[in-house]
């Protein structure tokens, strides 16, 4: 291997070697501003998400600080910001609680172990190039999943906003329990949460890109301290330990693999889809290439470093990345500066967070996730594509009924089933000739198409595979039953990029059925791979292989002067010779 090849491989596996080599001094200031701005955004959000995950508040800050360092070393996006997210936080809360059995120490250790398992699965996914599998999750499934996750997260925060105990295992169970506790609302807590939520929403619209959350959090601490709100029964975060996280290996052996890896797999799927979606949008905006496979290494490194610092699974998110980008981030150095800023806060300023009302944290989560419920997208699906709407509805209900973890896994399965369902029922176009031309079009989609007398010409608009071969055969035979005096059936494969053995078997069956009725059969428009398989499967012995390369018009002989075929050819074999 030459020196240049070794250098290229090194920069491929270690992206900072590329952007550091081209770093400009003019980028340092915007990167520094972006890093400090991201830290200001991360502090309130990370505290809120840690509470959502059922973990001590400082754990959320650890995730932003350490996850950002890990991603900056191996991630390929220059603007993606990595840290705890709402959906993964709720997934941890719903899954780890049952596994920990009420032991708070074990709970935190399992959460860190889950981050380590996420890193391992990311490495495996990178080695086996599994980024292609994630593409099987459709956008419609994601819309439904995000809506379900948003509703579930908001429902989980309502008890903190109302000052009641809450409880429940899924959206509907929580709603029922909350309804039964409404008589015990703490109106002071509700007022604090409602005011904070109002100013968060107003600030988001009027002051985009500003640290509104941090400002409201600081004001709420001042008000709570001056008015003595903790003594009035307002829940607060309490004392947060000062100092940086201790670094060490997660405690292995706490769970069996079949308990740990379903949680880790759900986190990987959710984190990778969300992170790559956000990273692609910023890469397109700034005109650089994103390596989707490398993102597995970036995500894995972020979770591995977070696990060593006793954090829980992290991911790249659109909202924090938008903050980073809007503040001017040019390179992942902004993440490093954000981590340094958070480290200073952990060393010197955690004491200021003691009197932070939990209702304010709930309001911060509420304001961060309400956009996940995209009603417009759901309505548009209903109007444009019902099958996409039903797919989104399945994902939404799965999350509401089963929870985030089971919901994301079921959503992935539903997306694959949807893909197979669509592929199993392709459009089969039955063709007629456009008047005065040698071109052919679908009879069902275009008016004024001349029917082919004595001929059925059909074009499967998909690959011929085992999942759709029977459907295509049934469509052709059904058309044959409704037609009279048919002497030739032509299969146009110009819209079929691939055929498998089941597809070839279907063509054999169609030929045999037509032969029993003394109807000729021809295949046209077959691409190279199709011709190879058709020849290997013996179709050349049953059809004219010379016609496979030709167009439908050349076989039917209609293109010369726009003439219609003779409705009564003497011999079906003449049709294949073009003597119509």
Q: Convert the pLDDT of each residue in 543-558 to its tens digit.
A: 999 899 998 888 886 4
Asked if 32 contacts 337 with a C-beta cutoff of 8 angstroms, the reply is yes
Beta strand 455-460 with 449-450 is: unpaired
The band of 9, judged by pLDDT with boundaries at 50, 70 and 90, is: low
Asked if 408 contacts 152 with a C-beta cutoff of 8 angstroms, the reply is no
Asked if 384 contacts 105 with a C-beta cutoff of 8 angstroms, the reply is no
The band of 58, judged by pLDDT with boundaries at 50, 70 and 90, is: very high
236-259 pLDDT, tens digit each:
988 889 999 999 988 888 888 888
Q: How many Å apart are CA 341 and CA 61, to the nearest integer?
A: 11
Beta strand 428-434 with 315-316 is: unpaired
Q: How many Å apart are CA 47 and CA 200, to the nearest integer?
A: 16
For the segment 3-10, the average pLDDT, to the nearest whole number, is 53
Q: What is the DSSP string of 302-361?
A: HHHHHHHTT----EE-HHHHHHHHHTT--STHHHHHHHHHHHHHHHHTGGGGTT-BHHHH
**SS3 state at 55:** coil
Q: How far is CA 466 from CA 289, 420, 470, 502, 512, in A?
A: 37, 11, 8, 5, 19
Q: Model pTM greater than 0.75?
A: yes
Nearest residue to 294 via CA among 129, 120, 67: 129
Q: Which letter does DSSP use for residue 236 in this model? A: B
Phi, psi for residue 313 in degrees, rounded to 5:
-55, 140
Task: Tell me the pLDDT of the chain averaged across its residues.
Answer: 88
Q: How many Å apart are CA 555 and CA 546, to the nearest integer?
A: 10
pLDDT on residue 561:
32
Q: Which residue has the tokens 């790559």?
A: 276
Q: Where are the alpha helices (DSSP H) in 103-206?
A: 104-127, 131-134, 139-162, 171-181, 187-206
Answer whether residue 2 shows pLDDT above 60. no
**SS3 state at 61:** helix
User: What percent of the chain stands above pLDDT 90?
Assistant: 56
CB environment 437-465: b (16+ within 10 A), e (fewer): ebebbbbeeeeebbebebbbbbbbebbbb
Phi, psi for residue 112 in degrees, rounded to 5:
-70, -40
The neighbouring-strand residues paired with 151 are: none
Q: Which letter does DSSP use for residue 486 in this model? A: -
Q: Where are the domains of the chain?
A: 15-418, 428-576
The band of 274, judged by pLDDT with boundaries at 50, 70 and 90, is: confident
Q: What is the CATH number of domain 428-576?
A: 3.30.750.24
Q: How many CB atoms lie within 10 A of CB 417?
A: 12
The band of 506, judged by pLDDT with boundaries at 50, 70 and 90, is: very high
Q: How many Å apart are CA 332 and CA 31, to the nearest integer?
A: 8
119-139 pLDDT, tens digit each:
999 999 999 988 876 666 778
Q: How many Å apart are CA 300 and CA 250, to the nearest integer?
A: 15
Tokens standing for residue 502: 């089941």
The tally of CA atoms less than 13 A away on the side-chain side of residue 503 is: 22
Answer whether residue 88 shows pLDDT above 50. yes
More confident residue, 468 or 269: 468
Tokens standing for residue 50: 């840690």
Asked if 473 contacts 506 with a C-beta cutoff of 8 angstroms, the reply is yes
Q: How many Å apart are CA 75 and CA 125, to the nearest integer?
A: 15
Tokens standing for residue 48: 């809120």
pLDDT on residue 83:
95
Q: How many CB atoms lie within 10 A of CB 151?
A: 19
Tokens standing for residue 86: 């709402």
Residue 505 CA, chain-centre distance (Å), reads 36
Answer whether residue 347 shows pLDDT above 90. yes
Asked if 320 contacts 48 with a C-beta cutoff of 8 angstroms, the reply is no
**SS3 state at 168:** coil
Q: How many Å apart are CA 539 and CA 505, to the nearest integer?
A: 9
Nearest residue to 258 via CA among 117, 378, 156: 117
Q: How many Å apart are CA 297 and CA 71, to the nearest integer?
A: 8
Give the contacts of 494 (CB within 8 A, at least 6 positions apart): 459, 524, 525, 527, 551, 552
């Amino acid at each position: 291997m030459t020196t240049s090849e070794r250098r290229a491989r090194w920069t491929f596996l270690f992206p900072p070697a590329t952007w550091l080599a081209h770093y400009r001094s003019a980028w340092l200031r915007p990167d520094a501003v972006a890093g400090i701005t991201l830290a200001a955004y991360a502090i309130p959000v990370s505290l809120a998400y840690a509470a959502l995950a059922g973990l001590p508040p400082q754990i959320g800050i650890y995730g932003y600080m350490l996850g950002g360092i890990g991603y900056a070393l191996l991630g390929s996006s220059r603007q993606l910001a990595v840290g705890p997210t709402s959906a993964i936080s709720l997934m941890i809360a719903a899954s780890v609680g049952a596994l920990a059995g009420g032991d708070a120490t074990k709970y935190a250790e399992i959460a860190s172990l889950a981050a380590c398992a996420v890193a391992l699965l990311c490495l495996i996914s990178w080695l086996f190039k599994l980024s292609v599998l994630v593409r099987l999750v459709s956008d419609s499934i994601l819309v439904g999943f995000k809506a379900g996750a948003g509703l579930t997260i908001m429902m989980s925060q309502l008890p903190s906003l109302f000052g009641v105990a809450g409880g429940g295992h899924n959206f509907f169970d929580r709603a029922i329990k909350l309804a039964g506790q409404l008589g015990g609302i703490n109106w002071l807590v509700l007022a604090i949460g409602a005011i904070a939520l109002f100013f968060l929403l107003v600030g988001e619209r009027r002051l985009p890109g500003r640290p509104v959350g941090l400002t409201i959090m600081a004001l709420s601490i001042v008000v709570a301290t001056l008015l003595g709100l903790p003594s009035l029964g307002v829940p607060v975060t309490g004392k947060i330990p000062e100092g940086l996280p201790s670094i060490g290996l997660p405690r292995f052996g706490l769970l069996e693999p079949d308990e740990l890896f379903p949680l880790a797999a759900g986190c990987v799927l959710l984190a990778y889809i969300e992170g790559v979606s956000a990273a692609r949008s910023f890469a397109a905006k700034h005109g650089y290439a994103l390596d989707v496979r490398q993102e597995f290494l970036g995500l894995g490194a972020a979770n591995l470093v977070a696990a060593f610092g006793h954090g829980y699974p992290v991911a790249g998110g659109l909202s924090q990345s938008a903050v980073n980008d809007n503040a001017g981030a040019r390179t992942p150095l902004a993440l490093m500066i954000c981590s340094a800023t958070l480290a200073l806060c952990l060393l010197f300023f955690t004491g200021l967070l003691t009197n932070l009302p939990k209702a304010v944290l709930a309001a911060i989560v509420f304001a961060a996730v309400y956009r996940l419920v995209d009603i417009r997208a759901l309505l548009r699906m209903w109007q444009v594509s019902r099958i996409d709407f039903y797919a989104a509805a399945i994902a939404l209900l799965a999350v509401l009924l089963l929870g985030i973890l089971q919901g994301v896994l079921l959503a992935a399965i539903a997306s694959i089933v949807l893909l197979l369902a669509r592929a199993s029922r392709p459009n089969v176009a039955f063709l007629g000739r456009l008047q005065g031309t040698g071109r052919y079009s679908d009879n069902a989609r275009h008016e004024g198409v001349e029917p082919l007398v004595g001929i059925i010409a059909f074009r499967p608009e998909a690959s011929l595979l085992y999942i759709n071969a029977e459907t295509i055969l049934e469509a052709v035979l059904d058309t044959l039953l409704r037609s009279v005096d048919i002497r030739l059936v032509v299969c146009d494969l110009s819209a079929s990029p691939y055929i498998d053995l089941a597809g070839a078997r279907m063509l054999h069956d169609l030929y045999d059925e037509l032969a029993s009725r003394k109807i000729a059969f021809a295949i046209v428009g077959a691409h190279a791979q199709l011709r190879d398989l058709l020849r290997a499967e013996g179709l050349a012995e049953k059809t004219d292989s010379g016609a496979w390369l030709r167009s439908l018009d050349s076989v039917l002989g209609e293109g010369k002067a726009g003439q219609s075929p003779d409705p009564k050819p003497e011999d079906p074999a003449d049709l294949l010779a073009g003597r119509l």
